[in-house]
Amino acid sequence: MAYTRVAEFLEDWKSESGMTRAVMTALTDAALAQPAGGAEDRTLGRIAWHIVTTLPEMMERTGLHLSSVDGGAPVPARAADIAEAHSRAAAELAERLAADWTDETLAVTDNMYGETWPRGLTLQVLVRHEIHHRGQMTALMRLAGLRVPGTYGPAREDWAAMGMDPPAV
C-alpha closest to that of 57 among 49, 128, 1: 49
Q: State the pLDDT at residue 36.
A: 87
pTM beyond cutoff 0.85: yes
Tens digit of pLDDT for each residue in 137-166?
A: 999 999 999 999 999 988 888 888 888 888
Considering only CA atoms, which of 19, 70, 23 is closest in space to residue 45? 23
Q: Considering all CA atoms of the chain, what is the largest pairwise distance in Å, rounded to the nearest integer?
A: 51
Mean pLDDT confidence for 41-51:
96
pLDDT tens-digit readout, 102-114 = 999 999 999 999 9
Between 94 and 162, whose confidence is greater?
Answer: 94
Which has the higher per-residue pLDDT, 155 or 18? 18
Which pLDDT band, with edges at 50, 70 and 90, does 37 fall under?
confident
Q: Are strands 115-118 and 109-112 parallel, antiparallel or unpaired?
A: antiparallel
- Rounded to a whole number of angstroms, the CA Rg of the chain reads 17
Are 33 and 44 in contact by the 8 Å Cβ rule? The answer is yes
Mean pLDDT value across residues 67-92: 96
